[in-house]
């Protein structure tokens, strides 16, 4: 099972007018008048395994006509260096901006962010924020800042105010599992066949886990830890269930917590079912039980 990464919220905006005093060899910075808003749509984020488990967050801009007439490019990012991150506690994720067709944007020559050319004069713009390694990131609320400013390459001193949009991106805990058994296939259902049952018989298989967090496992048995004769239910054979090398009490089920073994990719939790003793007086026939394994992400 899997929980969606969603949530991205524009919290507040701060506008700062950039100015430069006129001198003998410099002109004053002229502000491009106009208003714009940035809608960072975290709930519409797309995930792509082809890009290392990245999350692609769409961003839409609404522009006044005066900005369309004034500027020919948009500068995006924190505007400091070549790295852009969002952070949750001690964990942080790198962010890279892409245009609408998911082409990577180039960094500006003056270190003031990535450059999105404005090829079309229209009141709506769209670009993507790619959050790298989001699929296996530690769950939580990540916070960052989107800085945007409109510029004119033909008239370098012509620019808009600078806007800072503080946003949040929520990564939910998630887990998916399947059963992997030698010779028994892979999937969500597995038939453990002991064949001719004898004392000391056992079967090994694995839970294959794909998770961005620790997990909790809850195991239940329809017959509370015994296999019952399919025609004579009064006849039964006890068995033992081991999860991650520890016995599970199937008469009194409880949750087992298991730490995530790998930061990326799948990992295996070993399971063994064994039959300690089969008496010679045991009624011949087929015995069975149904075991259900529920796995939850650790909040």
Parts of the chain belonging to CATH 2.60.40.2040: 175-297
pLDDT at 190: 85
Measured CA distances, 12 to 9, 104, 165 (Å): 9, 27, 6
CATH code for residues 175-297: 2.60.40.2040
**Cβ atoms within 10 Å, residue 180:** 17
Beta partners for 163? Answer: 15, 148
Beta partners for 151? Answer: 73, 159
Q: Which helix (H) or strand (E) holds 226?
A: strand 226-229
Parts of the chain belonging to CATH 2.60.40.3480: 8-171
Which of 219, 223, 189 is closest to 205 using CA atoms? 189
How do the pLDDT tens digits run along the chain, 299 residues long? 333 222 222 222 222 222 333 333 334 445 777 889 999 998 889 987 666 789 999 999 999 888 888 888 999 998 776 789 999 999 999 999 999 999 999 988 777 789 999 877 788 999 999 999 998 899 999 999 999 999 888 877 778 888 999 999 999 999 999 998 766 556 778 888 998 999 999 999 999 999 999 999 999 999 999 999 999 999 999 999 999 999 999 999 999 999 988 777 889 999 999 999 999 999 999 999 999 999 999 87
Q: Is 116 exposed, middle or buried (0-12, 13-18, 19+ CB in 10 A)?
A: buried
Residue 16 and residue 162 in contact, taking contact as beta carbons nearer than 8 Å: yes
Query: Thinking of the domain 8-171, which architecture would CATH place it in?
Result: Sandwich (2.60)
Question: Do β-strands 255-258 and 215-221 pair in parallel, antiparallel, or remain unpaired?
Answer: antiparallel
Rounded Cα distance, 195 and 172, in Å: 43
Residue 278 and residue 199 in contact, taking contact as beta carbons nearer than 8 Å: yes
- Global confidence as pTM: 0.76
Beta partners for 124? Answer: 62
Q: Is 229 exposed, middle or buried (0-12, 13-18, 19+ CB in 10 A)?
A: middle
């Amino acid at each position: 099972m899997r929980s969606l990464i969603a949530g991205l919220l524009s919290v507040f905006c701060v506008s700062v007018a950039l100015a430069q005093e006129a001198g003998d060899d410099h002109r004053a910075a002229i502000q491009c008048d106009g208003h714009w808003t940035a809608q960072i749509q975290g709930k519409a984020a797309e995930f792509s395994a082809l890009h290392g488990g990245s999350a692609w967050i769409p961003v839409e801009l609404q522009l006044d006509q005066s900005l369309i007439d004034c500027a020919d490019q948009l500068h995006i990012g924190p505007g400091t260096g070549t790295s852009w991150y969002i952070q949750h506690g001690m964990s942080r994720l790198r962010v890279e901006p892409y245009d609408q067709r998911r082409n990577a944007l180039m960094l500006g020559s003056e270190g003031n962010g990535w450059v999105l050319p404005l090829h079309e004069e229209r009141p709506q713009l769209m670009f993507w924020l790619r959050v790298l390694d989001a699929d296996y990131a530690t769950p939580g609320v990540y916070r960052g800042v989107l800085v945007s400013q409109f510029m004119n390459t033909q008239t370098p001193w012509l620019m808009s105010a600078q806007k800072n949009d503080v946003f949040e991106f929520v990564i939910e805990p998630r887990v998916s599992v399947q059963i992997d058994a030698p010779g028994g296939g892979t999937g969500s259902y597995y038939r453990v066949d002991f064949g001719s049952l004898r004392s000391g018989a056992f079967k090994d298989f694995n839970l294959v886990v794909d998770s961005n967090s620790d997990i909790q496992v809850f195991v239940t048995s329809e017959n509370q830890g015994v296999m019952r004769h399919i025609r004579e239910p009064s006849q039964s054979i006890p068995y033992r269930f081991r999860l991650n090398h520890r016995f599970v009490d199937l008469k009194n089920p409880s949750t087992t917590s298991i730490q995530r073994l790998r930061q990326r990719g799948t990992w295996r939790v070993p399971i063994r079912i064994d039959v300690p003793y089969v008496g010679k007086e045991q009624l011949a026939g087929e015995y069975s039980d149904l075991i259900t394994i529920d796995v939850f992400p650790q909040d």
